[in-house]
Amino acid sequence: MFNKIFEYAGPYKKGIYAATLIFLVSVLMGVLPFVLAYQIIAPLVTGGSVALAEITVRVIGVLVCLVLQAVLYGWGLDLSHKTAYNTLMRLRIALQKKLENLPLGIIQDKGIGTVKKLFVDDVDSLELLMAHSLPEGIANLMVPLAVYIAMFFIDWKLALLSLASLPISLVAMMMMYSVGMKQMGPYYQAGQKMNNTIIEYINGMEVVKVFNKDGESYERFRKDVTNYRDYTLNWYKACWPWMAIYNSLLPCTIILTLPLGAWFVLRGFSTLPSLILVLCLALSIGIPLLKALGFLPAMPQLNYKISALEQVLEAEPLHQTEDGFGGKDHTICFEGVSFAYGDQTVVHDVSLTAKAGQKTALVGESGSGKSTLAKLLIHYYDPQQGTITVGGQSVSEMSLNALNSQISYVAQDQYLFNTSLLENIRMGRLDATDEEVVEAARKAQCMEYIEELPRGIHSAAGDAGKMLSGGQRQRISLARAILKSAPIVVLDEATAYIDPENEEKVEAAIAELVKGKTLFVIAHKLSAMMNADQICVMAHGSLLAAGKHDELLSSCEEYHKLWNASQNSSEWKVATAKGGN
């Protein structure tokens, strides 16, 4: 675990060494007063004499030690915190770089809560390790160790007596660590789940209220918060007994030394001055030992958090190169592509070709793998098997930027940034002039409602977002894609859930977007796919058939079924509309 910390610290690791050294001297300054006290007590107890001047010097020595201890401790803390926060900064930058190279789909699948926990909470928790546990812990352990060695030189029998509490404490410590680590998995996952649920709860508040799902949503929230409490308490419950044992036993360095040591002195096995010195030293290391132990309970948690960070930092990055796009045209080819989310394979050995300049439609029942194929094409994930090429060049043999420059992906949920609508549309092509942005907005049928907004196209998407319908927001994202004007357009259910009034306009915007482009489209509405150059029928992650509408109607039973179902549903829509429902 410490090796990894030093790796993260990079050039700042010198700060950890320096802070540890300073803490070490500071702890030593806490031990010296006991030695000085011994030098005053021993002659008095053994019948000797001490001059007042000697006592004064030692008392001043004690005061100097205490002042130095405080000053050095402050200095050490200053240094260790600078090191810690610089390391956290490095770690967050490394995480961000790593996330940038991870498949986007994998990041989305983790959930915002988990990613936020990783970036904020898990990284923050390393502060304890870097600023305290490591430098302070080491110093507070090293000094007692040195003191024990000194005790052995003074009187090995008495030294052994003061070590008596150590073996049981060590066993208790190991037990605490081991049971703590076992409980850590569920505890950590409960924390991740709670984070995700809280974010989902806040994001989904509007829907929850509209659909009167307060109770249900609160119930889930309550369950995850309660679970987290239970797992945390379980963890503590498993660790508490062991913590209690070593916390009480370890600092009891004089528990045997005092009675047995006195007996040793009476029997002549040890001398009184040695006993006094060993007792003073044993008392001096009580506080450092307790401090060092104070850091132990957090170790299993820290270890777990570091592993979670490691998992992300060591996760396999998206396969891509620095190369630009060099495909001969924009023909898309899936060759023997299989893909699994975790253990669940959802795409099985799919091979299909979407010819450049043509419209290829993917149809199939819900869950048949259509969106996953689209996400593989835009390289959200790497397939486990097979290759996807554009114009003969594999998507993993170009940079994500190069691929993105060739593809406009429009899905149902389009994110609007909290900036003006103008800038939101300009995301499509950053060097576009204001006029070009307005032209794209016009082509996407946005201007009629944008002009009615108080600040027109300069309205902030955050404020405007509340005033825009789903279809209007969708048209903003289509304007973005029109402005981008990439040669390939991937539409994933782009018109789903749009009200009839908006549907016509969205379809007009799409028609503008796809003019002369290679189109890869997923839609449930089969009637809109009839004119496609090729329709690919998916079922349970496999490609069943591919062809034109008429061919498939006669040759593919699954397509026939889908077609009938879509006809029935449009008849049902007409009937309900007529019925006024």
Q: Where on the chain is the footprint of ligand ATP (CB under 6 A)?
A: 109, 341, 346, 364, 366-372
Return the structure tokens found at 308: 């979670």
Three-state SS for 444? coil
Distance CA 506, CA 512 (A): 10
Task: Give 367 or 462: the residue with its C-beta nearer to ligand ATP.
Answer: 367
Distance CA 378, CA 400 (A): 9
Task: Give 108 or 564: the residue with its C-beta nearer to ligand ATP.
Answer: 108
Beta bridge pairs of residue 389: 333, 394
CA count, 13 A, side-chain hemisphere, 486: 25
Task: Give 270 or 371: the residue with its C-beta nearer to ligand ATP.
Answer: 371
Q: Which residue has the tokens 């043509």?
A: 358
Distance CA 83, CA 73 (A): 15
Cβ pair 560, 530 in contact under 8 A? no
Q: Minimum Å distance from CB 112 to ligand ATP?
A: 14
Q: Minimum Å distance from CB 461 to ligand ATP?
A: 26
Task: Give 258 or 544: the residue with its C-beta nearer to ligand ATP.
Answer: 544
* Phi, psi for residue 535 in degrees, rounded to 5: -115, 125
**Rg of the Cα atoms in the chain:** 35
Task: Give 114 or 459: the residue with its C-beta nearer to ligand ATP.
Answer: 114
Distance CA 492, CA 524 (A): 10
Q: Minimum Å distance from CB 538 to ligand ATP?
A: 6
Q: Minimum Å distance from CB 337 to ligand ATP?
A: 13
Task: Give 79 or 539: the residue with its C-beta nearer to ligand ATP.
Answer: 539
Q: Minimum Å distance from CB 346 to ligand ATP?
A: 4
Task: Give 326 or 367: the residue with its C-beta nearer to ligand ATP.
Answer: 367
Distance CA 65, CA 75 (A): 15
Return the structure tokens found at 138: 């080491």
Q: Minimum Å distance from CB 89 to ligand ATP?
A: 31
Task: Give 297 or 369: the residue with its C-beta nearer to ligand ATP.
Answer: 369
Distance CA 489, CA 406 (A): 9
Q: Minimum Å distance from CB 522 to ligand ATP?
A: 6
Q: Minimum Å distance from CB 382 to ligand ATP?
A: 14
Task: Give 33 or 364: the residue with its C-beta nearer to ligand ATP.
Answer: 364
Q: Minimum Å distance from CB 341 to ligand ATP?
A: 3
343-358 exposure pattern, b = at least 16 Cβ within 10 A, e = fewer: eeebbbebebbbebeb
Distance CA 83, CA 136 (A): 13
CB-count exposure of residue 263 (10 Å: 0-12, 13-18, 19+): exposed
